[in-house]
Amino acid sequence: MRALLGRAVAASSVVVLVVACGGADEPGASPRPRPPTRPSPEQGAAADRLLTGPDWYRHAVFYEVNVRSFQDSDGDGIGDLPGLVSRLDYLKDLGVDALWLMPINPSPFKDSGYDVADYGDVDKVYGGKPAFDVLVREAHARKMRVMVDLVLNHTSDQHPWFQESRKDKTNPKADYYVWSDTDGRSDVACGTYSAQFGTSAWAKDDQRGQYYYHRFYPGQPDLNYKNPAVVSAVLDAAKGWLDSGADGFRCDVIGLLVETADPEQCSMAPETQAIIRKLRALLDTYPDRAMVAEPLLGDARAYYGSGRDMFHMAFDFSYGYFWGVAFSARSRKLVDVSMAQSAAFPEGAQNALVIGSHDVQRAFTVASGHEWRQRRAAEIQLLRRGTPFVYYGEEVGLRPGAGVVVDSRDSARTPMTWARGPGHGFTKGTPWLAFGPMADETSVEAEDRDPESMLTFYRSLLAFRRGRAVWSTGAERVVGLDTGSVVAFLREDGAERYLVAVSLSEEEVDAALVERPAGVAEVVWGDGALGADGRLKLPARGSAVFRLR
C-alpha cells in the first residue's frame, strides 16, 4: 500500500539485446522496421505452455487495476467490476496474463479501500460479490488470472471486529486490536509509518476509554496478531477468497503484522514470518495459487524464507521506485544494487518488477514528462529477470491529475482514458476523480492505430518477450562498459542470450563493452550497431536488440 549466476549456454542460439534511450521514439526520427504488435502463433503456444502449472506466475505479465478508475458500467462515475469485465479483451490483446485488483472490499474509503470494513465481501459500488464471480469466470475463460489485494495489517474502524472490540475490555473481540491505557506501550516500539499518517500512532477511543494503535491513518486500527483468534480469522478470510476462485494475493504492508519492543524489528519480526508461513501453507492446499509481498524499501530477501515456504514474489522497489534518477550517473548503481539483491534470493524466489503503482507518482511524471524515458524504464522492467507488473494507464502514458479525494496519491489514480470527448469512454456520468491533462491525446482510441504511440510501444515490447522463458527465469548479470552513460546486463538460459544496454544520454553513444559476446550481430529491435571489436553504437534515446549468430 505504501510502500545470478550464469548457466551453460547453447552456442547454437546466442542473442544480445541492447536498449538505449533513443531517437526512433521521437517525432522526426529516421524510419525503421516496425516490430510486430502481436506475438506470433508459435509464441502464443509457447506462452500457453509456460503459463500452465504451478510456475505460471513466473512467466506472466500482471496488470494492476484500480477498479474504481478503470471502467464505469452504470454511469455513477465510479469504475466497477462489470466495467472491468467489458475491458478484458483489451487487456488480453495487450498481453496481460493476470490482474491484481486494488481493494474491492466494503470500505468507508478513508484510505482508498485500504481501510477494509469487511474481509469477505465486495463493495456494492463495484457490483458486489456476484460481479466478482463473473469477473473470475470471464477472466479464466480467457486464460487470465485474478489476484486480490489482501490488507491484513489493519482494518477500518468501521469493521465489525473493531466495533465490537471498542465496546469494552471484556467482549469476545476485546483483544483483536492493540489497546493501551496511555498513548504508548513499552512492547510497541514503532510510530506511524510516515508523517502523512499523523504524529502519533495512538488514537483515543472515547467509547472504550483507551488508546488504540495505528501505523497508518487513525481510521485504520492495527490488528493484534499476538491473539491466535486474529490469525485464525484472517486465514479464514483468505480461504474465502481462494474458494471464490481468486488465484492469489498481493499482500499489503505484510511485514508489519506483529508489533515488538525492538524498533529494529518493526518489519518482518519472527512472529510475522511465522504467520506468513501459515498463509503460504494455506495457498499450497489450492492448485496453482501465488502471492506477492509489498515489502518495505530495501532488501526483500526476508519475504521469501526458504524460497518455497513464504512469498512466491516480492516487489523490487530498489529500482522500481527510484528509476527516475536512472538518467543520471546514479542509474548504474541502482541496477547493480537491484541485481545484487535479487542474486542473493533463495532458489525459487521470483522478483516482481515495477516502474510505478498506486502509491507513487505516475511513470510519466517520474520520467520528467519525457516519453522516451518511460519507454526505456519499461524496457528495463520488462527485460529484467522476474515478473513484470504494469500499472493501469502506463501503456498509454497516462498523465497525473490534480484532483484530491483522499490524499496526494490520487494524482496517480485518475480514471483511465478510453476515448476522445466527454467522459473519455470511462463514464457517462461525472467521474469520481477528475481526469488528468491530455485525456484525449492519451486515450486508447487516439493511440490505438498510431505507430509512434506509447500503446503501440507496449504492445510491441510485450509481444517481443512473449513465450520466451529467458526473460522471466533466465540468469542475469551486469556487463561493464567504458562509459557511465550506459547500463548493460546479460540475460541467458540454455537456449539464448541477450545483452540489455540502456543509454542514459540524449546524445549518440559510441562505447566499448568490457565483455563482447561472440557472434555476428543482427538487429531485431530498434536501431544500433555492435561491432566485432566490441564497440556499441546507439542513437540518442534509442533502443536496439541484436541477435548474435
pLDDT by residue (tens digit) across 211-262? 999 999 999 999 999 999 999 999 999 999 999 999 999 999 999 999 999 9
pLDDT above 90 as % of the chain: 74
Q: Looking at residue 488, what is its pLDDT? A: 80
Q: Is residue 201 part of a domain?
A: yes
Amino acid identity, residue 368? S
Q: Is residue 511 part of a domain?
A: no
Q: Looking at residue 33, what is its pLDDT? A: 63
Q: Is residue 207 part of a domain?
A: yes
DSSP for 121-172 reads: ---GGGTHHHHHHHHHHHHHHTT-EEEEEE--SB--TTSHHHHHHTT-SSST
Mean per-residue pLDDT, 110-121: 98
Euclidean distance between CA atoms 59 and 467, whole angstroms: 8
Q: How many residues does the chain have?
A: 549
Determine the distance from the C-alpha atom of residue 491 to the mean position of all C-alpha atoms in its chain, rounded to a whole number: 21
Q: Is residue 8 part of a domain?
A: no
Cβ distance 242 to 283 under 8 Å? yes
Euclidean distance between CA atoms 379 and 6, whole angstroms: 21
- The CA-atom distances, in angstroms, between 534 and each of 272, 374, 502 are 50, 28, 16
Cβ distance 279 to 301 under 8 Å? no
Cβ distance 317 to 324 under 8 Å? no
- The CA-atom distances, in angstroms, between 466 and each of 189, 235, 491, 525 are 47, 35, 15, 14
| Strands (E) located in 284-353 | 290-293, 313-316, 350-353
Where does residue 7 rank: exposed (0-12), middle (13-18), buried (19+ CB within 10 A)? exposed
Cβ distance 60 to 146 under 8 Å? no
Number of structural domains (the chain) is 1
Cell of 276: 506468513
Euclidean distance between CA atoms 119 and 316, whole angstroms: 27
Q: Looking at residue 70, what is its pLDDT? A: 99
Q: Looking at residue 397, what is its pLDDT? A: 98
Q: Rounded mean pLDDT of the chain? A: 91
For the sheet containing 521-526, what is the strand order? 14-18, 544-548, 521-526
Where does residue 373 rank: exposed (0-12), middle (13-18), buried (19+ CB within 10 A)? buried
Confidence of residue 21 (pLDDT cuts 50, 70, 90): very low
Mean per-residue pLDDT, 354-371: 95
- Identify which has the larger pLDDT, 385 or 17: 385
What are the b/e assignments for 207-244, b being 16+ CB within 10 Å? ebebbbbbbbbbbbbbbbbebeebbeebbebbeebbee
Q: For the domain that residue 201 is a member of, what is the CATH number?
A: 3.90.400.10
- The CA-atom distances, in angstroms, between 112 and each of 67, 355, 374, 436 are 11, 21, 26, 18
Q: Single out the residue of 419, 341, 347 nearest to residue 58, CA to CA.
A: 347
Tracing cell 516502474 back to the chain, one arrives at 355
Query: Phi and psi (nearest 5°) for 410?
Result: -60, -20
Q: Looking at residue 102, what is its pLDDT? A: 98
466-488 residue pLDDT tens: 999 999 999 998 888 888 777 78
Residues 72, 294, 379, 394: which is the catalytic one?
294
pLDDT above 70 as % of the chain: 93
Q: Is residue 402 part of a domain?
A: no
Cα–Cα–Cα angle for 10, 12, 13, rounded to 5 degrees? 80
Element housing 89 (H / E): helix 88-94
Q: Is residue 287 part of a domain?
A: no
State in Å, rounded, how far the first CA of the chain is from the last one.
45
Euclidean distance between CA atoms 87 and 67, whole angstroms: 11
Print the domain residue range for 190.
Answer: 160-213
Mean pLDDT lowest among 6-20, 453-467, 533-547: 6-20
- Identify which has the larger pLDDT, 285 or 502: 285
Amino acid identity, residue 198? G
Residues 252, 371, 410, 492: which is the catalytic one?
252
> Does the pLDDT value for residue 9 go beyond 80?
no
> Does the pLDDT value for residue 2 go beyond 50?
no
> Does the pLDDT value for residue 362 go beyond 90?
yes
Q: Looking at residue 28, what is its pLDDT? A: 40
Q: Is the dihedral of CA 419, 422, 423, 429 positive or negative?
A: negative
Q: Is 252 a catalytic residue?
A: yes
Q: Is residue 459 part of a domain?
A: no
Q: Is 264 a catalytic residue?
A: no
154-207 residue pLDDT tens: 999 999 999 999 999 999 999 999 999 999 999 999 999 888 898 899 999 999
Q: Is residue 166 part of a domain?
A: yes
For the whole model, what pTM was predicted?
Answer: 0.94
- The CA-atom distances, in angstroms, between 469 and each of 299, 349, 435, 457 are 25, 16, 38, 21
